[in-house]
Amino acid sequence: MPSKTIAQNTVTPIKTNRVIWYGFLSVLVLIGVYGLIMRMEMGLISTNLTSNVPWGAWVAFYIYFVGLSAGAFLLSSLIFVFGMEKYEKIGREALLAAILSMVLAMMFISLDLGRMERFWHSLVYFNPFSVLAYEVRFYGLYVLILIAELYLSMRQDLIKNARKNDLKGKIAKICSLGSTDLSKESEARDHKWLKILGSIGIPIAIFGVHGGTGALFAVVKAQHYWNSAVFPVIFVVSALVSGTALLITFYIIRQKVKGGRVDKAMVQSLAGLMIGFLIVDIGLQFYEYLISAYSLDHQALDTLAILFGGKFSFIAFWLVQTFIGAVVPIFLYLKFKESVNALLTAAIMVVLGIVAVRFNIVVPPLLIPQLAGLSGGYYFPSSVEWMTSVGVIGFGLLLYSLAVSILPVDLSRPIEKMGERSER
């Protein structure tokens, strides 16, 4: 059998690749642990944050990962709520990525808290006028919905896996939560509940989780650059951009690692979505700049000056956000749509580009002093901030790699309607 020989030939490289990959991630996590110890030992003095620039890299990464999560989830809702079966293959992966992104976002924001040990205050005490107070609760609700959805979408495969007696089987047995119903009716019930939960999740993700995170910034009247109603919308759209890009990246890389066939039609369709969202995002961002510029407010104008011509503007805005994050991906999509590798490159570039978008949202307005005569700010993340960020992201990739190798993230069998298009 040809497939068997392929399997035999590829065993060794896959194993070494796996060792290298997990070794690499462990190094990242160890760097992060070192950074975390420094952070715990010294407090926020280990960062380059000041009273002038109170928010920095950790907040930027926090909104970045909330965005990834919301984007991935909304993509999954295309499948589970709107029944777009052509994306079926990435449905569970989208939910998994959404959960893990949320975990990372929460890790980043707890790193950022001055009193980490008091994080529970945000759940116990409630200010009904604070956007952030609602956000915290929305995050909790949202993660619960995501976990329930992921469980329902994998339930039958978990039960099947639980029959095996290896580690994977044992974990599947725990994750299946004692359910053993493999009947068609139970599957239909799962799908019904997926649809219900997804329908509840969509407004929570759009208005609660990510629109709300945008509103967190937009309501701050003191920061003119943030204070516009288009801001929450930009957040949601850029979430869709980064979430779609992340899923394209994960899907293609995983297929390549497994030696599976990449569903080119689906990737092209997803890439089209990504580029479409990206163009809408750029358009809305243009309006955001226009609104700031038209206000003629000196703070807003100074923010734009820093954004377009400040010390780090060449790297943060022109190179990463504009060139890597937008121009090259659009070019690759238009010119090399037939090449999966080109689309993968485009997706990775977008994932990186949105990081710069998030930094450019958080940092530039804070560099402008609130009153003439107050000292202005300067901010570049400190080594501890970089180390912890690298560590948290490495930890996230580690969790993801473990999850995809243990949990039945791939469909065990294609659903009936798309039987012909399924591979192998």
Partner 1 sequence: MAKENINEKISRRDFFKPNFSGAKAWAAELFAEDETKPKETKWAMLIDLQKCIGCDTCTVSCKAENRTPPGVTYNVVLKEEVGTFPNVTKVNIPRPCMQCDQPACKQVCPVKATYKMKNGIVAIDYNRCIGCRYCMVACPYGARYFDFGENYEQEMLGYNSYQTNEYGVEKRERKKKAPVGIVRKCHFCFHRLQRGEEPACVETCLGDARYIGDLNNPDSIVSKLVHSGRAVRLKEYMATEPRVYYLK
> Do residues 281 and 237 lie in contact, with contact meaning Cβ atoms separated by under 8 Å?
yes
Q: How far is the CB of 132 from partner 1 (least distance, A)?
A: 4
Q: How far is the CB of 268 from partner 1 (least distance, A)?
A: 42
Position 130 contacts partner 1 (CB under 8 A): yes
> Do residues 96 and 400 lie in contact, with contact meaning Cβ atoms separated by under 8 Å?
yes
Position 228 contacts partner 1 (CB under 8 A): no
Q: Which is nearer to partner 1, 127 or 383 (CB)?
A: 127
Applying CB under 8 A, among 22, 34, 55, 323 the residue interacting with partner 1 is 55
Position 371 contacts partner 1 (CB under 8 A): yes
Q: Which is nearer to partner 1, 222 or 296 (CB)?
A: 222
Applying CB under 8 A, among 2, 178, 373, 419 the residue interacting with partner 1 is 373
Position 296 contacts partner 1 (CB under 8 A): no
**Segment interacting with partner 1 (CB under 8 A) among 124-132, 139-147, 178-186, 345-353:** 124-132
HEC sequence for the chain: CHHHHHHHHHHHHHHHHHHHHHHHHHHHHHHHHHHHHHHHHHHHHHCCCCCCCCCCHHHHHHHHHHHHHHHHHHHHHHHHCCCCHHHHHHHHHHHHHHHHHHHHHHHHHHHHCCCHHHCCHHHHCCCCCCHHHHHHHHHHHHHHHHHHHHHHHHHHHHHHHCCCCCHHHHHHHHHCCCCCCCCHHHHHHHHHHHHHHHHHHHHHHHHHHHHHHHHHHHCCCCCCCCCCCHHHHHHHHHHHHHHHHHHHHHHHHHHHHHCCCCCHHHHHHHHHHHHHHHHHHHHHHHHHHHHHHHHCCHHHHHHHHHHHHCCCHHHHHHHHHHHHHHHHHHHHHHHCCCCHHHHHHHHHHHHHHHHHHHHHHHHHHHCCCCCECECCCCCCCCHHHHHHHHHHHHHHHHHHHHHHHHCCCCCCCCCHHHCCCCCC
Position 414 contacts partner 1 (CB under 8 A): no
Q: Which is nearer to partner 1, 88 or 112 (CB)?
A: 112
**Segment interacting with partner 1 (CB under 8 A) among 71-79, 109-117, 263-271, 378-386:** 109-117
Q: Which residue has the tokens 């604070």?
A: 130
Nearest-Å Rg of the Cα atoms of the chain is 22
Per-residue binding string, partner 1, 327-366, x by CB under 8 A, is: ---------------------------------------x
Q: How far is the CB of 21 from partner 1 (least distance, A)?
A: 35
Residues 24-43 contacting partner 1, CB under 8 A: 42-43
**Segment interacting with partner 1 (CB under 8 A) among 49-57, 96-104, 171-179, 269-277:** 49-57
Applying CB under 8 A, among 33, 54, 291, 336 the residue interacting with partner 1 is 54
Per-residue binding string, partner 1, 180-219, x by CB under 8 A, is: ------------------------------------x--x
Applying CB under 8 A, among 136, 200, 284, 390 the residue interacting with partner 1 is 136
Applying CB under 8 A, among 26, 370, 405, 412 the residue interacting with partner 1 is 370
Q: How far is the CB of 208 from partner 1 (least distance, A)?
A: 15
Position 372 contacts partner 1 (CB under 8 A): yes
In the complex, which residues of this chain contact partner 1 (CB under 8 A)?
42-45, 49-52, 54-55, 109, 112-115, 118-119, 121-122, 124-127, 129-133, 135-136, 216, 219-223, 366, 369-374
